[in-house]
Amino acid sequence: MIDDQKILKTGTTTVGIVVKDGVILATESQATMGYLVATTKAPKLYEITDRIAMTISGSVADCQQVVRIIKANAKLHELERAKPISVRAVARLTANALFEQRLYPYISQLLIGGYDDAPRLFSLDPLGSLIEEFDFSATGSGSVIAYGVLEAEYSKDMNLDAAKELARKSIEAARRRDAASGGEIQMAIITKKGIKRI
């Protein structure tokens, strides 16, 4: 039997939204260890290339290691081929890295968003499952709350400003109702011009 006292519970909320002109990635910045708020300034949104970014949820150390591996491999890919790596290729690299560790998995739920020939969003689980999301996705302990807002208000024809506001509202709802989510909102708008951090 598992001793509940030894389980260290963590949580977070991340959101990705796809619209015709780009992708919005958003998250909050609270990191918890059980009932302790370890920090309210944890980075959970990482730039992989100048047009691809990733949100993390799960074990911070595991997620940071995945980010380091993928950033290095994306850079090598671009140097070898002398052209930018696609969002799908970054997502596949990440899925492969996660799958290789499936017996001792990286405790992670990741969203990868970016823009190459079109805006793209992918969600990944700890074992390397890879799903392209065509509207929106959310991860972490607050995702069920965020999904309620996203389901109610998402529209395929919304513009980037409306999607940015929807991302903010969904993260804000999770921050109010999920004890493991809090801190500041981190957001990136990714278009064909690149990544704009907010």
Vertex 156 angle, CA 58 and 19, to 5°: 60
184: CATH = 3.60.20.10
Residue 4 belongs to a domain = no
Q: Check residue 32 and give its pLDDT.
A: 86
Q: Is 1 a domain residue?
A: no
Q: 31 lies in a domain?
A: yes
Give the DSSP letter of residue 121. E
What amino acid positions are annotated as catalytic residues? 12
Contact 28, 170 (CB under 8 A): no
Output b/e per residue, 137-176; b: 16+ Cβ within 10 A. bbbbbbbebbbebbeeebeeebebebbbebbbbbbbbbbe
Q: Note whether residue 5 is domain-resident.
A: no
Residues 120, 163, 108, 143, CA torsion sign: negative
| 3 in a structural domain | no
Instruction: Name the residue range of residue 65's domain.
Output: 10-197
The predicted model scores a pTM of: 0.93
Reported as a single tens digit per residue, the pLDDT across 150-198 is 999 999 999 999 999 999 999 999 999 998 899 999 999 999 999 999 8
Query: Residue 63 CB: number of other CB atoms within 10 A?
Result: 22
- Mind listing the pLDDT tens digit for each residue in 88-105? 999 999 999 999 999 999
